[in-house]
Structure formats: C-alpha cells, structure tokens
A and B are shown apart, each in its own frame.
Chain A
Amino acid sequence: DGGITQSPKYLFRKEGQNVTLSCEQNLNHDAMYWYRQDPGQGLRLIYYSQIVNDFQKGDIAEGYSVSREKKESFPLTVTSAQKNPTAFYLCASSIGAGVIPDGYTFGSGTRLTVV
C-alpha cells in the first residue's frame, strides 16, 4: 500500500541537540511538506519541496533545515536554534502544487519533546 512513513513516532531531545525526523513516501508525489502542530493552533508550514533538490521556506522555518536528495525522502532537522521545538510534526505530500482538488496525504506524525 502506498503512503507516507514518519519515524520515529516519539522523540525526546535534550537542550542544545540537533535531531532529524524522517519522512518517506512511496506515492510518487512530487511535492512534500513539513508542518508543525501546537495545541489549539492550526498547522503551520515549516518547509516545502516541489521537486528533488529544491525546497523553500514556509512560515516558520527558523531553527529548522531540510534536504530533498531523493523524490521519496524529505527529512527535517530540528536544530538547537529552534527555541521551542516541543510539538507534533507532520509530513505531507501531494501530487503537485497545481492539481485541483489537491488534498494532502499526511504521515502519522512525530511527537517531539524537549527534556
């Protein structure tokens, strides 16, 4: 079955550490996204990628970095510069940017906690 796999499901980070969240899809989707969800707030876009070797900052990119070396993979690194990283992180993909209607397929998420 096609889908998006995120790992790990739960992640604990110490102050000052960088951590990398994995996101892999086998849907042959061109576009991939990283969102952050905090209680009582809508999803906020961190980074997105339209195609391999290309990615763009979203609304809250500070303290995060990504890469898109393969179509299937879009890992997110939460760096020590991110001051409030505790959140639920969701990876998503879509066929492309211009397909209407174009819903997202989400991974099951990674819950990151700073300890």
Chain B
Amino acid sequence: RKEVEQDPGPFNVPEGATVAFNCTYSNSASQSFFWYRQDCRKEPKLLMSVYSSGNEDGRFTAQLNRASQYISLLIRDSKLSDSATYLCVVRPYTGGFKTIFGAGTRLFVKA
C-alpha cells in the first residue's frame, strides 16, 4: 500500500460546481498535512495547510479525519482557473524530512 494515495482523476466539472478530493495516508503517526496545487509543467505551490479542526480559505475547505486516516479538499463554485493537479502532502511526525507527496488528483473545470 502506498504511504499516501490519491485518486488520479481526472475530475471534469463545469464552472460553478462543487468538487471534493480525498487523500488517504497509511502512517497513523502522521502529524502535518498540506494541499499543494501544481499547474501543468510548473512547480507545486502551497494551497493550504490542514488543521485538526478543519480550515477554510475562501472557496477552499480542508478537513482531516484521523480515525479514518484521510484528508479532504472541497472546492466550491469552481473556476476555470482552478484547473490543476492537487497534491496531498503528509509528514509523519513533527518536523523532520520524511515528507510524502501524493501523485496528485487532476481537475479540469469546463466553461
């Protein structure tokens, strides 16, 4: 089993739709969680950290479910500019360098 697993997609949604991605992780000792966005042939950029209580940033909501070992990203009112690959990132413990990147979920938002 991979340490971090994501549905590769692609998810094809119309503008204005709500879309959600999940990411599962295998190490129950994982402490830090992030969502990164990567545009085609570009570098990943931090979208948001994921906190235990869940957090929201505009149209984006991230949640953590420790019992089931997954994190989620919800995008409301999708825009064409949201089209990208979304990477789930997990760190097994506080600090350190064992950061695991998921392979990403591709999203296409259509007009």
Contacts and interface: CB of A to CB of B under 8 A. Distances in A.
Given A40-B103, A42-B104, A101 B4 contact: no
Question: Would you call the interface of chain B mostly helix, strand, loop, or mixed?
Answer: loop
Nearest to A106: B43
Question: Would you call the interface of chain A mostly helix, strand, loop, or mixed?
Answer: loop
Interface of B: 4, 8, 31-32, 34, 41-46, 49, 87, 94-97, 99-104
Interface string A89-112: 010000011111111111111010
Contact of B95 (A40, A44, A97): A97
> How many A residues are at the interface, by size bracket?
20 to 34
B97 A48 contact: yes
A56 interface: yes
A107 B94 contact: no
Contact of B87 (A42, A56, A108): A42
A16 B8 CA distance: 35
B100 A40 contact: no
5 contacts: A33-B97, A42-B4, A96-B95, A101-B49, A109-B43
Interface in A40-60: 40-45, 48, 56, 58
